[in-house]
């Protein structure tokens, strides 16, 4: 068990070592047990977390607010549009001032080419931990919740388990790339053989791909990329874990209109019962939510016994509580 967490930021997935992530999971499982048994665990009594949102949220806001309350503290919801950020408050001011008001600063900022830089700039000037509630590059808390869920369903020994990270069609908007990017960086460290599949235009950031390949080499796991207009079915075959969601074509083109036209070419990239049947009989279906039902995934899949999406959503709260308790309370 690692113990050196107090005061540290969590912005990118590799900010914590593999051993430190294992400690986070140990603490998260303990907190989940305490929550189930009704045992008090007010490790952050009188602590306050600032939650600064530049992008709307359901699970993230709810899970951080509930988690802080269960830890004995308070989470302050701050919508960026209701602040003076648009009128001159810089990341330096936010870091310096919120770092004096609060015991931690959590930020969600997914604007392409902006979000991650903003978080790092705030962290540069903050005297308290800065936690990434999702940026344009990473979504570390979602992936910690995903990892916790996979361990619950597949056990601690994940070596030689095949995890498919697949693009999926969604017409609502060009969604951030942070979930697939964090998945391919984090999951190879825990023994999973990752297969990334997407149409040619939906490749991930080159530096993220380099990081994923390096982690796979370091931990002796597989990392395969299938960039094919019809590669979904090939990738699903004999998979243990299917994680299929939409993301935008920002690396290919930052233009939203052009990206939307490209997305329309791949409406057949839907996770349906026929494709799920290509995976192993005990394969699980994962998605961070919200999903575009019967566009991105059919009701028959997301509501099936193979779907673990609600366990994932719950586990967001438990892993967030673990990181907050470790970084803000020093347990």
Pick the range with the lowest mean pLDDT from 28-32, 84-88, 238-242. 84-88
Look up the CATH architecture of domain 13-139+315-329: 3-Layer(aba) Sandwich (3.40)
Cα 202 from Cα 248, distance rounded (Å): 7
Residue ranges per domain, the chain? 13-139+315-329, 142-311
pLDDT band at residue 331 using 50, 70 and 90 as cut-offs:
low
pLDDT band at residue 14 using 50, 70 and 90 as cut-offs:
very high
CA-based nearest residue to 184, from 156, 219, 149: 219
Cα 208 from Cα 204, distance rounded (Å): 7
Residue 330 has pLDDT above 70, yes or no: no
pLDDT digits (tens, 9 = 90+) for 132-179: 999 999 999 999 999 999 999 999 999 999 999 999 999 867 899 999
What integer pLDDT is reported at residue 244 of this predicted model? 98
Cα 53 from Cα 235, distance rounded (Å): 35
Cα 117 from Cα 174, distance rounded (Å): 20
What integer pLDDT is reported at residue 186 of this predicted model? 98
What integer pLDDT is reported at residue 23 of this predicted model? 97
What integer pLDDT is reported at residue 203 of this predicted model? 97
Alpha carbons within 13 angstroms on the beta-carbon side of residue 239 total: 28
What integer pLDDT is reported at residue 259 of this predicted model? 86
In this prediction, residues 65-71 reach a mean pLDDT of 98
User: What integer best gives the mean pLDDT of the chain?
Assistant: 96
Please state which CATH number belongs to domain 142-311. 3.40.50.1370
What integer pLDDT is reported at residue 86 of this predicted model? 84
CA-based nearest residue to 164, from 234, 246, 235, 231: 235
What integer pLDDT is reported at residue 172 of this predicted model? 66
Cα 12 from Cα 211, distance rounded (Å): 11
H helix intervals, the chain: 18-37, 59-70, 91-93, 99-101, 115-125, 140-154, 178-186, 206-219, 232-236, 256-264, 273-276, 299-302, 309-324
pLDDT digits (tens, 9 = 90+) for 205-214: 999 999 999 9
Residue 75 has pLDDT above 90, yes or no: yes
Q: Is the peptide bond before 40 cis (omega within 30 degrees of 0)?
A: no
- Quick check: do 13-139+315-329 and 142-311 share a fold? yes
CA-based nearest residue to 123, from 68, 56, 52: 52
Cα 54 from Cα 111, distance rounded (Å): 8
Cα 5 from Cα 206, distance rounded (Å): 30
72 by Cβ neighbours in 10 Å (0-12 / 13-18 / 19+) ranks as middle
Pick the range with the lowest mean pLDDT from 84-88, 179-183, 219-223. 84-88
């Amino acid at each position: 068990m690692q113990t050196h967490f107090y005061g540290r930021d969590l912005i990118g997935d590799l900010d914590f070592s593999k051993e430190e992530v294992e400690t986070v999971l140990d603490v998260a499982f303990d907190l989940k047990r305490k929550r189930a048994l009704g045992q008090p665990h007010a490790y952050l009594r009188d602590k306050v977390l600032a939650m600064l949102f530049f992008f709307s949220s359901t699970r993230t806001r709810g899970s951080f607010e509930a988690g802080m309350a269960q830890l004995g503290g308070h989470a302050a919801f701050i919508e960026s549009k209701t602040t003076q950020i648009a009128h001159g408050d810089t990341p330096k001011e936010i870091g310096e001032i919120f770092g004096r008001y609060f015991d931690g600063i959590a930020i969600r900022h997914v604007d392409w080419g902006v979000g991650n830089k903003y978080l790092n700039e705030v962290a540069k000037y903050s005297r308290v931990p800065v936690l990434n509630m999702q940026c344009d590059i990473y979504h570390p808390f979602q992936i910690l919740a995903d990892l916790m869920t996979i361990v619950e369903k597949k056990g601690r020994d994940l070596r030689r388990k095949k995890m498919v990270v697949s693009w999926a069609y969604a017409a609502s908007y060009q969604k951030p790339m942070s979930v697939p990017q964090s998945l391919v960086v984090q999951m190879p460290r825990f023994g999973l053989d990752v297969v990334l599949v997407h149409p040619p235009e939906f490749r991930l950031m080159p530096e993220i791909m380099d990081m994923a390949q390096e982690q796979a080499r370091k931990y002796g796991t597989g990392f395969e990329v299938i960039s094919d207009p019809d590669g979904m079915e090939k990738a699903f075959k004999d998979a243990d874990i299917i994680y299929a969601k939409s993301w935008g074509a920002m690396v290919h083109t930052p233009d939203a209109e052009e990206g939307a036209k490209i997305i329309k070419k791949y409406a057949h990239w839907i996770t349906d019962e026929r494709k799920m049947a290509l995976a192993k009989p005990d394969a699980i279906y994962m998605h961070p939510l919200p999903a575009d039902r019967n566009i991105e995934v059919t009701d028959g899949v997301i509501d099936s016994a193979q779907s673990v999406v609600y366990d994932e959503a719950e586990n967001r709260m438990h892993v967030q509580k673990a990181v907050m308790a470790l970084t803000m309370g020093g347990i």
